[in-house]
Amino acid sequence: MSEISAFVAEGEQDAEATVRPKRLAEFIAQHRVRDQLDLLLKGAMGRGTPPDHILLSGPPGLGKTTLANIVAAELGSGIRVTSGPAIERSGDLAAILTSLAVGDVLFIDEIHRIAKPAEELLYSAMEDFRVDVVVGKGPGATAIPLDVEPFTLVGATTRSGLLTGPMRDRFGFVAHLDFYSVEDLDLLLHRSARILGVPITEDGATEIAGRSRGTPRIANRLLRRVRDYAEVRGDGTVTLETAREALRVYDVDALGLDRLDRAVLTALVDSFKGGPVGLSTLAVAVGEQPDTVEEVCEPFLVRAGLLARTPRGRVATDAAWLHLGRNPPAAPAGARPTGQNPPADLFSADRRFP
Ligand SMILES: Nc1ncnc2c1ncn2[C@@H]1O[C@H](COP(=O)(O)OP(=O)(O)OP(=O)(O)O)[C@@H](O)[C@H]1O
């Protein structure tokens, strides 16, 4: 995708790794989750046992992978990384599980997309540190029990609602990551700029923070784009002016909406008269997968008061019409959500995405 989304593009992974916090103390904001994790890890380390399995949920780019790596680093353990869609057969998962060393962390990203047979294998591994590997087919098939060393599973999901009950119940600690406030992203940007050796002014950082959709990955990515601009067309310092100019070039608007976000709102308003319209129809209208629209665009658009999910479909709020420079159509009171004129403190800590 060309737009500045929360998905990580190939080739940008190294850039992300450079600024990725390695320890809990370096992890910015999310104080509640940090505190809870700190207790969980220290308690387990004190007892000399692996901590309970951990589930991290929240939209892309808020720090789930980072936290999984931090858990392993704090425990001084090894980490194996895989993802739900990568585990096609339960045998693949059995091979990973039986090769874990005592105390290892197994990180499964997008755990809600794991195939059913593999999920069932995971249940016994999580609970009893044992897996039954089935050899052969039909009546001659036999289950061979194999031991798994005590380990900690860290699962990450952008769709915790899709996890089955039995899976969710096997996690001893569940953390939901919230969008970040502008102040938090400001801190994060100063930290990243220091690591990257990029001079940045206070107002330059605040400008980027305000357009980062509450998401660290986007903040870091915008910083790299503004750095390019500052180095090529300025004196190398990220200032308010270079930030504004660069973000204009990259089509990131004052609220941080990118091309896809605006395409979604524009389709809603122009093609469907503001909705309601179903997710799949909306996704076709913008040429994207429904999952991308639902997981990448919508959480922010809903939180910003620009889009509402109703039982009859997606609806553009009055604030969305106004943001696109259109007059909202007159409607009977209560017929269409008004949203909110996006406030200046869009990301203040008390305005959390429900
Ligand atoms: N609290 C934080 N403090 C500092 N940097 C952070 C924080 N959270 C995330 N980041 C940075 O944001 C980037 C994205 O984080 P990460 O890859 O952990 O997100 P994610 O939630 O796992 O996303 P996805 O669901 O797409 O895998 C990382 O490069 C990391 O450096």
Every domain of the chain and the residues it spans? 3-176, 182-249, 258-354
Residue indicated by tokens 């305005």: 351
- For the annotated binding site for ATP, the residues are 20, 61, 64-66, 127-129, 170, 180, 217
The ipTM estimated for the assembled molecules is 0.97
- Judge whether 317 counts as a catalytic residue: no
Q: Which of 104, 152, 157, 158 is labelled catalytic?
A: 158
Per CATH, domain 258-354 is 1.10.10.10: yes
Distance CA 56, CA 79 (A): 16
Atom in ligand 1 nearest the alpha carbon of residue 8: 26
- Judge whether 42 counts as a catalytic residue: no
Pocket of ligand 1 (CB under 6 A): 16, 19-21, 27-30, 60-66, 109, 156, 158, 188, 216-217, 220
Atom 26 (ligand 1) nearest CA: 60
Give the list of residues 6+ apart from residue 10 with CB closer than 8 angstroms, or none: none
- CATH number for the domain whose boundaries are 182-249: 1.10.8.60
- Judge whether 203 counts as a catalytic residue: no
Bridge-based pairing of strands 142-147 and 152-157 is unpaired
What integer pLDDT is reported at residue 4 of this predicted model? 54
What integer pLDDT is reported at residue 250 of this predicted model? 93
Q: Which of these, 105, 20, 27, 33, lies nearest to 71 by C-alpha position?
A: 105
**Cα 109 to ligand 1 centroid, rounded to whole Å:** 13
**Cα 64 to ligand 1 centroid, rounded to whole Å:** 6
What integer pLDDT is reported at residue 9 of this predicted model? 59
Per CATH, domain 3-176 is 1.10.1740.110: no
Give yes or no for a contact between 143 and 134, defined as CB atoms under 8 angstroms apart: yes
DSSP helix/strand/coil, 316: strand
- Judge whether 178 counts as a catalytic residue: no
Distance CA 25, CA 38 (A): 10
Walk along the chain (354 residues) in steps of 10 and give the mean pLDDT of each run: 54 78 95 96 97 95 97 97 92 94 97 93 94 83 90 95 92 95 97 97 97 95 97 96 96 92 96 94 95 90 93 94 91 60 41 32
Please tell me the pTM assigned to this model. Answer: 0.85
Helix (H) or strand (E) holding 65: helix 64-75
